[in-house]
A and B are shown apart, each in its own frame.
Chain A
């Protein structure tokens, strides 16, 4: 009986709302719910792994942005149903859109604020750039695969991210004309940390590099520029895992 009443109430609610609801709202509504679920997922994981990531509390601003950026716009149509699942997804050309938790973690590790200028290497579909764009002043992003650079550029413009500049080309030497940067996010794999990128960081700036494949991040490397010639590298396991049994 109770169940039947609930169904009836829902039906009435839908019937009342439908004629007035804006089409975009009706399309956006399920995604908004999924997004908030995704944020809840990230938050839950965060509380478990907080120690491994250096005791950093979850950043409310970052989480709010993750709850706002339409991730489903950044995945191929066939992957939209999984857009808000806490998992990486293929986006074509052998590239992936990172797991939302890793995006949140990298964003927090970058230590940015609204006045920051950020360089991103490996635009992909543009999702990380969009998240950054909601939080900082300017985002410069470089993609080595031409079709990805082109589609990300159009997508970001369409979604109104006018503080993001996309460039197709070689990211190894950074973006000298736009340097220095408060943070550099490298989302493409690298055999080593490119020195020119460290040069283009302001003192106190941070660089974040995930090591491993798009489907399985091994560690996050955080490079902190402490002085003109001084850097500190931290290797962060994105997960709580103690290699010895019996240790907590």
Chain B
């Protein structure tokens, strides 16, 4: 170990930052790529496990680290170059395996392919982690600076890749991490600026030349079971538009021979024709339809024959807010019903561009009309800030399409469908106005029942003792529309609504004064599940009903914003046993995948942490090692790893609430947290000379104090912060994150530096354990947040820092 080696900015720290930047960018990019070729939740699982490459690196460095450290520059260069190479090759290999997650429950072969994908993708992370781990080993006495550049590089990588994805397709952007890796490989060991820059310039030029030569160096092999691929198989299909952004890949397909006819839940009794439509896919999932509109309202009369037309029975010529542009279906509906003004709030600017540019003529330029105003922002933020009041707030299927991107429903936080979010939407209503939600329905019912429970909570919290008087709910065989009126529903309104439903063969699920015999008439289920649920939720039996329901239908809250999580672990065995009996549809795969990920990550992490122990406690090494201090050091690094990731993830999730453009803002805030943590890490060296015990305890106490204050403050501040402009809200998030992140950057490098003086051989082990804790912690944070809320995750994170403080004082008690 060469702890006294001089740390060079250009030749050591910059390459570390470049690799960190590459690896975080690569991670974000993989998530994007797998969301396109597969589905989001599998992307999550694959990447989580692949990140255990960091844990594997710890184990590897324990075994061969000393040999690597003796020839640090070469070892770093080789590992960085291998990262550069394998970042592309591993993805190509993973694609080539043609893994089909949908068959996972049916076929053992798919499990094998999944394992191979894990292995393939773990490789680049392993090489990248080797470089940083090695740098920490060799420059342990300057661990603060190394870690600072590592974190800062990671921050720049996160922000950089999101920016790059505006200009590059994800498959082309795959060259960027490779490029950074190559640059790091070239620069390691340089002493003077410009000296020997020839090699990096040559490598970088070569990669760029390759990128230019092969316009699309990596071709995506998208799962044949994704809706877009299936549509493209149909004779006559043409891919007309494809637009990428960091949010999603949008694709539009047209077919003049076998056209799309998309009208979810269309009445079986209608004679309305569906106009020509173009199919819109988000990350290959969908479709949503862009309907051809020549200005003749008769040509789109089908919009009156779907459940989402219900709210228009309550108010003639309303002022409407459409939440989620979808393909423009809800705007057409508003036009058809003669809305006096139409505001649309949509997060995805690319979607708006498609309707305004590529499909301007086709869609009848609906977004150019004077009575249509567009707001490109997050719906929740708009609801909190808007001063306008509406007769109708329409959350259509597009609300969920855009909010969830594609399929990642169980995992994705949505602040729109929480009790607080629904309240914000409800408060946009004029007296007598209606808030309407249309959702896809599944059997047994889940989504709409949870929404019904949420709405009841909102109305009761507003002091209404009889929420049922303001609710109306209908359904078709696959969609359901729930209407909440700002005021009591009158007898005549109930009668109009009944007539609307009867004429279209829709079932009334609930309205004030509805009789049980009216339920379950047109679309008959074995039992009147929907109506029975509505009655139970409006009665004193509510808590008992929610408790006994086999899906999680507790209303979501801002602290637990996972509306689409219906998974209850207690019933998973029953559902899995029904697989062969046609019960696969009961499984909410998204959430099961999180549990599967946790299980796998725990298993692998345990292996990766225990394996090096075998080396440490064999033969002559056994005698000289203090087992108690070693165990305390392990507990310390695990606690710090878990604590950091728990707080980081949850803090960002909490900030989502008041950031208007979540993805971009998250990139900036994540980068900010990492950079501030880097600053904290850098500061550590300045405090050198004081006992390690105190250099650990003081930041830990600061973290607990600041974090504890945030637990109290954040919920109160959110209401104010959400009203701020984009720039101010991002700045506030950064300001809020700064002090906590600053101190969170300290405990890891302090302990690494202390280890270097006490038991340097343990450094790679600590590095690996920290990596494993980050992976398991990220998964665990989601699971705890979905069941107990984000505040609980932060509280546990803070407690873990306290635990770390206690173990740190045991492990590093004697280190000065």
- How far is B442's CA from A169's CA once the two chains are assembled, in angstroms? 30
- How far is B440's CA from A212's CA once the two chains are assembled, in angstroms? 12
Asked whether A231 and B268 contact (CB < 8 A) given A243-B549, A246-B548, the answer is yes
Establish whether residues B263 and A240, one from each chain, have CB atoms under 8 Å apart when the complex forms. no
Establish whether residues A219 and B268, one from each chain, have CB atoms under 8 Å apart when the complex forms. no
B538-581 vs A: 1/0 string, CB under 8 Å? 00000001001111000000000000000000000011001011
Establish whether residues A145 and B233, one from each chain, have CB atoms under 8 Å apart when the complex forms. yes
B683 at the interface (CB under 8 A from A): no
- How far is B579's CA from A102's CA once the two chains are assembled, in angstroms? 12
- B262-321 contacts to A, CB under 8 A, are 262-266, 268-271
A35-62 vs B: 1/0 string, CB under 8 Å? 0000001000100110110100000000
From A65-73, A107-115, A124-132, A192-200, give the one contacting chain B. A192-200
A213 at the interface (CB under 8 A from B): yes
A235 at the interface (CB under 8 A from B): yes
Asked whether A192 and B263 contact (CB < 8 A) given A94-B224, A170-B258, A233-B268, the answer is yes
A208 at the interface (CB under 8 A from B): no
B402-416 vs A: 1/0 string, CB under 8 Å? 000000000000000
Most chain A CB inside 10 Å of its own CB: which residue of B102, B261, B443: B443
- CB nearest neighbor in B for A102: B582
- B519-535 contacts to A, CB under 8 A, are 522-526, 529
Within 8 Å CB of A90, what residues of B? 100, 103, 224-225
Within 8 Å CB of B578, what residues of A? 239-241
Within 8 Å CB of A45, what residues of B? 580-582
- How far is B757's CA from A176's CA once the two chains are assembled, in angstroms? 86
Establish whether residues A245 and B587, one from each chain, have CB atoms under 8 Å apart when the complex forms. no
Establish whether residues A233 and B235, one from each chain, have CB atoms under 8 Å apart when the complex forms. no
Within 8 Å CB of B582, what residues of A? 45, 49, 99, 101-102, 105, 217, 238-239
- How far is B234's CA from A99's CA once the two chains are assembled, in angstroms? 23
Establish whether residues A233 and B585, one from each chain, have CB atoms under 8 Å apart when the complex forms. no
Give the residue of B230, B258, B268, B587 whose beta carbon is less than 8 angstroms from that of A193. B268
Establish whether residues A94 and B443, one from each chain, have CB atoms under 8 Å apart when the complex forms. no
Asked whether A244 and B261 contact (CB < 8 A) given A90-B103, A193-B477, the answer is no
Within 8 Å CB of B525, what residues of A? 234-235, 237
Establish whether residues A235 and B523, one from each chain, have CB atoms under 8 Å apart when the complex forms. yes
Within 8 Å CB of A88, what residues of B? 106
Within 8 Å CB of A194, what residues of B? 261
Establish whether residues B584 and A217, one from each chain, have CB atoms under 8 Å apart when the complex forms. yes
Give the residue of B262, B271, B585 whose beta carbon is less than 8 angstroms from that of A218. B585
- How far is B524's CA from A101's CA once the two chains are assembled, in angstroms? 22
A3 at the interface (CB under 8 A from B): no
- How far is B523's CA from A191's CA once the two chains are assembled, in angstroms? 15
- A131-149 contacts to B, CB under 8 A, are 144-146
Within 8 Å CB of B444, what residues of A? 237, 241, 243
Within 8 Å CB of B229, what residues of A? 94
Asked whether A235 and B263 contact (CB < 8 A) given A90-B103, A215-B103, A223-B268, the answer is no
B583 at the interface (CB under 8 A from A): yes
A246 CB to closest chain B CB (Å) equals 7
- How far is B268's CA from A193's CA once the two chains are assembled, in angstroms? 6
- CB nearest neighbor in A for B305: A192
Establish whether residues A241 and B548, one from each chain, have CB atoms under 8 Å apart when the complex forms. no
B586 at the interface (CB under 8 A from A): yes
Within 8 Å CB of A101, what residues of B? 580-582
Establish whether residues A195 and B235, one from each chain, have CB atoms under 8 Å apart when the complex forms. no
- B32-60 contacts to A, CB under 8 A, are none
A108 CB to closest chain B CB (Å) equals 13
Within 8 Å CB of B443, what residues of A? 218-219, 235, 237
Within 8 Å CB of A219, what residues of B? 442-443, 585
A223 CB to closest chain B CB (Å) equals 7
- How far is B478's CA from A113's CA once the two chains are assembled, in angstroms? 30
A199-229 vs B: 1/0 string, CB under 8 Å? 0000000000001111111110101000001
Give the residue of B226, B529, B580 whose beta carbon is less than 8 angstroms from that of A87. B580
B745 at the interface (CB under 8 A from A): no
Chain A interface residue bracket vs B: 35 or more
Establish whether residues A215 and B477, one from each chain, have CB atoms under 8 Å apart when the complex forms. no
Within 8 Å CB of A52, what residues of B? 526
Within 8 Å CB of B103, what residues of A? 90, 215
Within 8 Å CB of B478, what residues of A? 191-192, 211
A136 CB to closest chain B CB (Å) equals 23
Establish whether residues B505 and A233, one from each chain, have CB atoms under 8 Å apart when the complex forms. yes
Establish whether residues A235 and B584, one from each chain, have CB atoms under 8 Å apart when the complex forms. no
- How far is B264's CA from A92's CA once the two chains are assembled, in angstroms? 27
- CB nearest neighbor in B for A239: B583
- B53-104 contacts to A, CB under 8 A, are 100, 102-103
A68 CB to closest chain B CB (Å) equals 22
A217 CB to closest chain B CB (Å) equals 5
A165 at the interface (CB under 8 A from B): no
- How far is B107's CA from A216's CA once the two chains are assembled, in angstroms? 14
Within 8 Å CB of A245, what residues of B? 548-550
A22 at the interface (CB under 8 A from B): no
Give the residue of A49, A92, A145, A193 whose beta carbon is less than 8 angstroms from that of B581. A49
A164-177 vs B: 1/0 string, CB under 8 Å? 00001110100000
Establish whether residues B585 and A217, one from each chain, have CB atoms under 8 Å apart when the complex forms. yes
Asked whether A198 and B477 contact (CB < 8 A) given A93-B224, A105-B582, the answer is no
Within 8 Å CB of B224, what residues of A? 90, 92-94
A151 at the interface (CB under 8 A from B): no
A232 at the interface (CB under 8 A from B): yes
Within 8 Å CB of B526, what residues of A? 51-52, 54, 236-237
A86 at the interface (CB under 8 A from B): yes
Establish whether residues A195 and B580, one from each chain, have CB atoms under 8 Å apart when the complex forms. no
Give the residue of B100, B271, B522, B581 whose beta carbon is less than 8 angstroms from that of A239. B581
Establish whether residues A231 and B505, one from each chain, have CB atoms under 8 Å apart when the complex forms. yes
Within 8 Å CB of B102, what residues of A? 213-216
B697 CB to closest chain A CB (Å) equals 48
B713 at the interface (CB under 8 A from A): no
B306 CB to closest chain A CB (Å) equals 8
- CB nearest neighbor in B for A78: B109
Within 8 Å CB of B505, what residues of A? 231, 233
Asked whether A144 and B585 contact (CB < 8 A) given A94-B225, A195-B271, the answer is no
Establish whether residues B234 and A144, one from each chain, have CB atoms under 8 Å apart when the complex forms. yes
Within 8 Å CB of B106, what residues of A? 87-88, 215
- CB nearest neighbor in B for A93: B233
Establish whether residues A218 and B261, one from each chain, have CB atoms under 8 Å apart when the complex forms. no
Establish whether residues B581 and A94, one from each chain, have CB atoms under 8 Å apart when the complex forms. no
Asked whether A244 and B524 contact (CB < 8 A) given A87-B580, A93-B224, the answer is no
Establish whether residues B230 and A94, one from each chain, have CB atoms under 8 Å apart when the complex forms. yes
Establish whether residues B100 and A216, one from each chain, have CB atoms under 8 Å apart when the complex forms. no
A118 CB to closest chain B CB (Å) equals 20
- How far is B265's CA from A193's CA once the two chains are assembled, in angstroms? 8
- How far is B258's CA from A145's CA once the two chains are assembled, in angstroms? 10
- How far is B234's CA from A168's CA once the two chains are assembled, in angstroms? 10
- CB nearest neighbor in B for A98: B582
Establish whether residues B235 and A144, one from each chain, have CB atoms under 8 Å apart when the complex forms. yes
B257 at the interface (CB under 8 A from A): yes
- How far is B346's CA from A70's CA once the two chains are assembled, in angstroms? 52
Within 8 Å CB of B586, what residues of A? 239, 241
The 9 A-B pairs at the shortest CB distance, nearest first, are namely A238-B582, A192-B266, A218-B585, A216-B584, A94-B224, A243-B444, A239-B583, A94-B230, A215-B102
Excluding A170-B258, A243-B529, A244-B545, 4 further A-B contacts by CB distance (< 8 Å) are: A198-B268, A232-B522, A239-B583, A243-B445
Would you give 28 A-B contacts (Cβ < 8 Å), ordered by A? A90-B100, A93-B230, A94-B226, A99-B582, A144-B258, A145-B233, A191-B263, A215-B102, A215-B103, A215-B584, A216-B102, A216-B584, A217-B584, A219-B585, A221-B477, A229-B269, A232-B522, A234-B523, A237-B526, A239-B578, A239-B582, A240-B581, A241-B444, A241-B578, A241-B583, A241-B586, A244-B549, A244-B550
The residues of B with any CB-CB pair to A shorter than 8 Å are 100, 102-103, 105-107, 224-226, 229-230, 233-235, 257-259, 261-266, 268-271, 442-445, 477-478, 505, 522-526, 529, 545, 548-551, 574-575, 578, 580-587
